[in-house]
Amino acid sequence: MTVQQLKPAEIRHEALRIAGEKVYRDEVIEVTYPYTGEVVATVPKATLEDVRRAYRIARDYKPTLTRYERYRILMRAGEIIASRLDEISRLITLESGLSRKDTLYEVGRASDVLLFAANQALVDDGQVFSCDLTHHGKSRKVYTTKEPLLGVITAITPFNHPLNQVIHKVAPAVATNNRMVLKPSEKTPLSAYVLADILYEAGLPPEMLSIVTGDPREIADEMLTHPDVDLVTFTGGVAIGKYIAGKSVYKRQILELGGNDPIIVMEDADVEEAATLAASGSYKNSGQRCTAVKRMLVHEKVADQFVELLVAKTQALKYGDPMDPHTDMGTVIDEPAARHFEQVVDEAIAGGARLLAGHVRRGALYAPTVLDQVRPEMTVVKHETFGPVSPVIRFKDIDEAIRISNGTAYGLSSSVCTNRLDYITRFVRELNVGSVNVREVPGYRLELTPFGGIKDSGLGYKEGVQEAMKSFCNTKTYSLPW
């Protein structure tokens, strides 16, 4: 059934999950399907008292799950998600406008996160230090052990991967016996509620996870400053990330912010492979990934060939109805976002860039767009363009490529297409980013591996299941005389 056939009775009316309790509120936020603009659900606007109650319950609860119990809950949640793959993918498509291809992929990633978190829950990463290492040493040992935080974790997530962003915060919290209050994006709040119910069903004590939705202007400050909060983990844009950095005083902060990732194509590259990586890196998830390819830096010797291939791959992409299983790319999050891309692309064209494909908009649907002859100072590449735009910048040599690449405020990830070890060595050393992927898209990673950026993209603390679990713990040491 398509969304056009949904009857009003089928509009989903969600409740807050305060420690598992469903709480409805008269004041709601409407969730719309970006492709048609129809309202598909409502979520409550939490009051300040709702938020405070969630923290109170979390603070007063002391989790006692064994490693095996945490493993079982996470694995069971993974099984439930796998059995509801199609339904959850449809829901994410409804709230985000992402194509079914993208949302099926996203639900698969969520299962990976649960699998890794479950397995990491079984791993004791304690250390042992012998103390007789120096002349004034003693015959003792220092042991380390990880403990959950004393207080509560606040998690705030963006719209672009409605389920995966949420699960990357919740699963490591469960794996480490922490309590979390999470606020998903008000644009895509539905899958967070589904995930919470799945975890409760899998056996998670409900006090360990509350989900609240609301107007950030009303409830965000409470979530950032509440005395029972020990750590704020945030994924989203730079502006709000920096606001949190200033607001959440004396609380640990994990800030995963925007990106402006390049793909750098050297003259020795396999140009066909590079164009394929560039197109998929630019258009997957409608270009709305922090690690999407947002700038294409191409050596002038291969630029003509690269651009020709990129245009062909862009035109071969099927975009449109997100529910059609053959559609590669659905809408972006909303019409204002699509209008913004239109405007920065217009500005680039006025400044001398050449439009080679796309740049057609209908509502929140924006065609995959190729721009050649882009200059580094143009808005479309100077700032993060969080949509399906492929701006090509030509360069002469590796020095210029590195200079352009490092010339924005961001430092999240990167892709380099070359087989030359001298080039690769320089890119790994000199690109000011969190990741360098050789002959892969910037977004390539395992859900387990360290991930995160520097400069305006983050403070250098990483996410990925393993790193998130580390940062959600206190390390206690104790020493024994043997």
Binding of ligand NAD by 44 (CB under 6 A): no
Concatenate the DSSP letters of all residues of 35-89 into one string.
Answer: TT--EEEEEE---HHHHHHHHHHHHH------HHHHHHHHHHHHHHHHHTHHHHH
On whether 237 is known to bind a ligand per the annotation, the reply is yes
Contacting ligand NAD (CB under 6 A), which of 106, 222, 256, 261? 256
Applying the rule CB under 6 A, the residues between 373 and 392 that interact with ligand NAD are 384, 386
Q: Is 318 among the annotated ligand-binding positions?
A: no
DSSP codes joined into one string, 46-58:
--HHHHHHHHHHH
Greatest C-alpha distance within the chain: 79
Interacting stretch for ligand NAD, rule CB under 6 A, among 27-35, 178-186, 274-282, 465-473?
Answer: 178-186
Q: Determine the interface stretch with ligand NAD among 103-111, 255-263, 268-276, 370-378 (rule: CB under 6 A).
A: 255-263
Q: Which of 58, 194, 244, 441 binds ligand NAD (CB under 6 A)?
A: 244
Residues 301-340 that bind ligand NAD (CB under 6 A): none
Question: 261-265 and 293-299: which strand pairing?
Answer: parallel
| CA atoms 331, 336, 337, 338: torsion sign | positive
Is residue 240 part of the contact set for ligand NAD (CB under 6 A)? yes
122: left (phi over 0), alpha (psi -120 to 50) or beta: alpha
395 is written with which tokens? 């360069």
Distance CA 16, CA 46 (A): 7
Is residue 235 a contact residue for ligand NAD (CB under 6 A)?
Answer: yes
φ, ψ (nearest 5 deg) of residue 442: -60, -30
Binding test (CB under 6 A) with ligand NAD, winner from 206, 237, 351, 407: 237
Q: Are 373 and 354 in contact (CB under 8 A)?
A: yes
Taking CB under 6 A as the rule, which mask of x and - marks residues 429-458 in contact with ligand NAD? ------------------------x---x-
Residues 111-170, interacting with ligand NAD (CB under 6 A): 156-160
Binding window for ligand NAD (CB under 6 A); candidates: 41-49, 79-87, 229-237, 349-357: 229-237
Phi, psi dihedral angles at 315 (to 5 degrees):
-70, -25
Six-digit token pair at 140?
């003792």
Q: Which of 290, 417, 463, 467 is catalytic?
A: 290
Q: Which of 220, 317, 416, 441 binds ligand NAD (CB under 6 A)?
A: 220
User: 183 a known binding residue?
Assistant: yes
Given the complex with ligand NAD, which of 234 and 423 has the nearer CB atom? 234
Is the separation of the CB atoms in 319 and 327 below 8 Å? yes
Q: Which stretch binds ligand NAD (CB under 6 A): 169-177, 196-204, 251-259, 321-329?
A: 251-259
* Residue 158 labeled ligand binder: yes
Stretch that binds ligand NAD, among 4-12, 26-34, 122-130, 230-238 (CB under 6 A): 230-238
290 catalytic residue (yes or no): yes
Q: Which two tokens stand for residue 430?
A: 């000199």
Catalytic residue among 14, 106, 222, 256: 256
Q: Determine the 3-state secondary structure of 147 from DSSP.
A: strand
Q: In the bound complex, which residue of the shown chain has the CB atom lying closest to ligand NAD? A: 236
Retrieve residue 296's tokens. 């294409």
DSSP state of 176: T
- Kindly give, in sequence order, each residue whose CB lies less than 8 Å from that of residue 359, ignoring residues fewer than 6 positions away: 342, 345, 367, 369
Helix pair 190-201, 85-96: axis angle to 10 deg: 150
DSSP secondary-structure letter at 267?
Answer: T
Where does this chain bind ligand NAD (CB under 6 A)? Answer: 156-160, 183, 185-186, 216, 220, 235-237, 240, 243-244, 256-259, 290, 384, 386, 412, 453, 457
Instruction: List, as residue ranges, the binding site.
Output: 157-159, 183-186, 237, 384
Binding region for NAD(+): 157-159, 183-186, 237, 384
